[in-house]
Structure 1
Amino acid sequence: MTNIRRALVVALPAAAALAFSVTPAQASVGIHCTGDASCGTFWYNSGQNGSRTSFTGTGGINGSIKDLAGYKFLDSGAGQGTPVKNGAASFYNGSGAPTTIFYNSGWNGPCDTVAAYTVANQLVNTYNDNASFAFGASGSNCYKFN
């Protein structure tokens, strides 16, 4: 085995483990919203059914998720353990300001904006195509849930 091959055999598994263990410092993930922080819950199925995962943050881009890759539905029910990215059908905004869900990572593309303390029983522009979201954001040209 060449030195290059040997290095790749050691480096690739380590890089893969690192890529899937990093999480944003400004947001926390769980099943329920807690405290007074900005909070949003994604559900695997429409109508707030199936497994869910809640994100809490500080509000604004600093507490938002630029890429949902690596996050999974945590609660019991249909979809438990599957990725949240491109897998959510409904959303609850437990924040006092709008939250916008984006089709693409990096807060880009078609979007759905959910008003404060509002349920989106079935996402429109990001139904099973959700890649990022921003607390306190009201995207332009988004479908609006009021």
Structure 2
Amino acid sequence: MSLLRRSASIAIPAVLAVGFGVTPAQAEAGISCNNYYDNCGAFYFNSNLSGSYTIFTGLKGQQGSVPDLAAYKFLGNGNGKGQPVKNNAASFYNGSFQITTVFFNSNYGGPCDTFEPHSTAKQLRNTYNDNASLGFGRSGVNCYKFS
């Protein structure tokens, strides 16, 4: 009887995992972009790419985006370290090889700032201190374009 109970308790998590499926890959946050082939975007707390920063990376060919920045904080040393990234970034660097967009709203909506590969915004235009999501390989409508 106890063997039957153990088998049932093992089978339930396996069924639940299969039922929910795999979630899409999200970008990782840190203070460096170690792989030249990764998508890489850095939010800075202050204008002119200064103050604390957090770098998001996502592998090319995968979604690697962030639908909501609420869970992330500025990690690098400098003004703003420990503050939330969401609605606190003043500048951005796109270190990826594709278009990258910062959105005003979560889930890639609203006004936005779009970046050509390897471009910089010393001061965000449409999402200055109002940034909620990040999309590698995404573009939106009503975006200011940085090149």
TM-score by length of 2: 0.79
Measured in 2, the distance between the counterparts of 1:133 and 1:60 equals 16
* Corresponding residue number in structure 2 for 1:125: 126
1:1-146 paired onto structure 2 within 5 Å: 26-35=26-35, 36-59=37-60, 62-146=63-147
Shift in Å, 1:141: 2.1
Measured in 2, the distance between the counterparts of 1:47 and 1:102 equals 19
Q: Identity of paired residues, percent?
A: 59
1:86-107 CA distance string (max 9 Å, x none): 0000000000011000000000
Measured in 1, the distance between the counterparts of 2:112 and 2:26 equals 22
Aligned residue type for 1:33: C
Aligned residue type for 1:28: E
**Secondary structure, aligned partner of 1:40:** strand
TM-score by length of 1: 0.80
Give yes or no for contact 1:96–1:117 (8 Å, CA) kept in 2: yes
Unaligned ranges ≥5, structure 1: 1-23
Aligned residue type for 1:68: L
Give yes or no for contact 2:25–2:62 (8 Å, CA) kept in 1: no
Shift in Å, 1:119: 0.7
With over 3 angstroms needed to count, the CA separation of the structure-2 counterparts of 1:109 and 1:127, relative to structure 1, is same
Measured in 2, the distance between the counterparts of 1:25 and 1:137 equals 15
Aligned residue type for 2:119: T
Shift in Å, 1:26: 3.2
Measured in 2, the distance between the counterparts of 1:78 and 1:61 equals 32
Give yes or no for contact 1:38–1:135 (8 Å, CA) kept in 2: yes
Shift in Å, 1:25: 5.0
Shift in Å, 1:60: 6.7
**How many residues are paired up?**
123
Give yes or no for contact 1:112–1:126 (8 Å, CA) kept in 2: yes
Shift in Å, 1:29: 1.1
Aligned residue type for 1:32: S
